[in-house]
């Protein structure tokens, strides 16, 4: 199974992951690195949109071995205070937060 990670990360479905991290005390910007089992990678951050509480992804670098990221995809999030969380998007496509 494969997934277009960039489209997924800007979807409302992925918003739940970000909200969960914020509820756990993470502070923006949230820096991330995503690595799929096929070697495809994305690096970036979720940053505030102006003075609002909304966050948007900012993709800084990408390496693709194919059009899509093969599952599972492992994401590591780090905030400016040094908090870290690992998120895994497995075969079901549902993200699991491992903290």
Tell me which residue has tokens 């489209």.
Answer: 7
Neighbours of 53 (CB within 10 A): 8
Q: How confident is the model at residue 5 (pLDDT cuts 50, 70, 90)?
A: confident
Total structural domains within the chain: 1
What residue numbers bound the domain in which 36 lies?
2-98
pTM: 0.88
Q: How confident is the model at residue 92 (pLDDT cuts 50, 70, 90)?
A: confident
C-alpha span between 32 and 91 (Å, rounded): 21
Contact 88, 96 (CB under 8 A): yes
The H-or-E segment that residue 2 falls in is: strand 2-3
Between CA 75 and CA 25, with CA 31 as vertex, the angle to 5 degrees is 95
pLDDT tens across 11-25, in order?
Answer: 887 888 999 999 999
């Amino acid at each position: 199974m494969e997934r277009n990670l960039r489209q997924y990360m800007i979807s409302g479905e992925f918003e739940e992951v970000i909200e969960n991290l914020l509820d756990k005390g993470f502070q923006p910007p949230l820096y991330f690195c995503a690595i799929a089992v096929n070697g495809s990678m994305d690096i970036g951050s979720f940053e505030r949109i102006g003075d609002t509480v909304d966050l948007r992804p900012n993709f800084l670098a990408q390496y693709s071995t194919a059009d899509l990221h093969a599952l599972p995809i492992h994401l590591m999030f780090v905030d400016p205070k040094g908090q870290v969380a690992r998120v895994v998007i497995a075969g079901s496509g549902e993200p699991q937060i491992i903290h």
